[in-house]
Structure 1
């Protein structure tokens, strides 16, 4: 059975970096069988993260075909993929659009990750759009079966990994090698 993803918007009071409390609305993605289950699961998930009162303001079916977490990434991006097919009867090219949600650190990495996901696709496709999503976190469905537990742990490990940050001047390159790499990039 294919997954149905629900986008849930949750409104709550959050303390920002400067210590000021403000009311924010954040979007989360829940894999559920129905709106009712999505509401129940988002309440359970948010209760674990938010100690204060929160309100679910909206639940809607998300139009994602697939969700792909990637290690060392912290933001979610929405990629639009146009599958190209040739209709022999009409003699025209036909496009079918699908949307995937994947993790990356920037748009370029999101493009590269989209190409990785599409690697092995037999048909032609284009990637007409990639944009940063408002989704803060993704909560996949867990049935309790042993195989599902392994998949869930792998999914959560990939989405929870943090990007590696290399401080300026802390590379393994010599100054000459860095200059050579920079000139190749330009």
Structure 2
């Protein structure tokens, strides 16, 4: 295939195999570098009337079913040197990563995904039964306890003071430079 905008002599080689499993690769190596199919492969797909892009050429991070996990941002806060809080943070990370790993690897295997969901529901019921004697904490209190943050006990609004003597970096001297 000749591409006039390509570097070098502009000749690119596209390998294509159509059968049970569609295989395509291009010498520009865009898919290997960026995870995106190049226009050369799209052209070959169009020539051979491939109606759907094979799933192996669609990166999971580019699909609709990927949801950002805001819970990760909560645990990125620094904690004190208390070993209990550090261990709790490590366990929380491990639980989150294990859950994401299970979901991403079982997304195409519906039966096993349902089994994992049912087991997690059983674990949730078990945790709820353990907490019957104790009221459920609000979300903020659970996270603040995990990262060892104590909320001030004052009802007064916080006092914010304007810093004094701060110069903006690079603001200039406001003096006109004389010409030669």
Q: Give the TM bin, normalised by the shorter chain.
A: under 0.3
- Higher relative strand content: 1
Counting helix residues as a fraction of each chain, which structure ranks higher? 2
Q: Between Structure 1 and Structure 2, whose CA radius of gyration is higher?
A: 2
Structure 1 length normalisation: TM-score? Answer: 0.20
User: TM-score, normalization: structure 2?
Assistant: 0.21
